[in-house]
Amino acid sequence: MLSTIQQFEELLEKKVKLDEPLAKYTTFKIGGPAKYFFIAKENEDLVRAVTFAKKLKLPFYILGNGSNVLISDQGFNGLVILNKASDIIFKKDNKVVADAGVMLVDLIQKTIDQGLTGLEWGVGIPGTIGGCVRGNAGAYGGQMAANLIGVEVMKGSKQFVLKNEQCKFGYRESNFKHNNDLILSAEFQLQKGDKKQSLAKIKEILKTRNAKLPEYPSAGSVFKNIMISSENMAEVKKLINLPAEYLERKKIPAAWFIESLDLKGHTIGQAQISPKHANFIVNLGQATANDVLQLISYVKMKVRDELGFQLMEEIEYVGF
C-alpha cells in the first residue's frame, strides 16, 4: 500500500517535502516542521494540492509570506502549501487581477508602473494578496476592501467569484476568516494616476513606517486596535490621558494601552514587546512560539485588569 506522501506525489505529479522547518517561511522566524510541505507555483498547483489533501483527509494550511502568523513549536501535523502563484493581469477600465500568492508590494509597484493609483497605502505591508484580502489589511487610511471588486474562490470543488459585498469585510475582518473558502485571486478597481505623485507618496509612507518598525523579526501588529462605539464609551471615558484625536477617529491604537502600562521592552524568554513599537512582539533571536504566547497572554491580562479593555489578536495561530 502506498504511503500518504507517495499517494500525494502520484496525484500531484510533483515532489512533496517531509518534516520541513517552517520558521524560515515566516517573518517571525518561529515555528516547528510541517509534516508535509508543498510549493504551489501557480493556481493549478494550489487547487490540485487542496483537492487531493481533502481526498486523503489530510489537514492543510495555505501559507503566503508568513507574516501575521504564529506557528506552533510543534509545527503543523498535515500539509502546508506555500502559495507562490504570481500572475498579474491588467484589464480594461483600470482593473487588475492578481493571484493570491502575489506580494502586495509587488502589485503596488506594477500598478504604479502602469500609471494606476489606489493601492499606495499598502506599501510596506509584508503580505500576499490572499492574506491581505482575508484579513482586510489596511494602513494610512486605506484598506483592501476599498478597491476590491471581487474575489475568485474555491469552495468544496467549485470555483466562482464573490463580489465585494459578499465577502463581509470589516476592520481586519472578512468571511474568509470563518470559512474554508480558498482564495485564488482578487480583482481591483484602480484609477489613472500620476507615477511621480505615486512614487512620492510611497516614499513618504515608507519613511514613516520604517521610523517605527523594529529591527528584530516580528509578525507585524499583534493586537487589533479598539474601535470606540456607544457600547464602550463609558469605559473609554474612564481612560486617563487619552488623546483627543483618538476620540475623533473613534479608534484607540492597541499600542496606546500597552504603552500606558509601561510594558515596552517587557520580555519573556526571547520574546519582547518592542521598545520601538508597543504593538509589535519581536524575536530577539531564539524565541519560541510558547514565549510569544505567554507574552501575549500577559499583555491581555494586564490591559484587561488595569484598563478594563479586552485586546484581541490580529495575528493567526497555526498548529496549536
Q: Which residues are catalytic?
A: 172, 221, 314
How buried is residue 19: exposed, middle or buried, by Cβ count under 10 Å (0-12/13-18/19+)? exposed
Helices 104-113 and 195-212 pack at an angle, to 10 degrees, of 150
| Full 3-state SS string of 211-267 | HHCCCCCEEEECECCEECCCCCHHHHHCCCCCCHHHHHHCEECHHHHHHHCCCCCCE
Grid cell at residue 74: 510543534
In Å, the largest CA–CA distance within the chain is: 68
Residue whose C-alpha cell is 492543510: 60
Q: Which helix or strand (DSSP H or E) is residue 142 part of?
A: strand 142-143
Grid cell at residue 158: 467549485
Neighbouring-strand partners of residue 318: 71
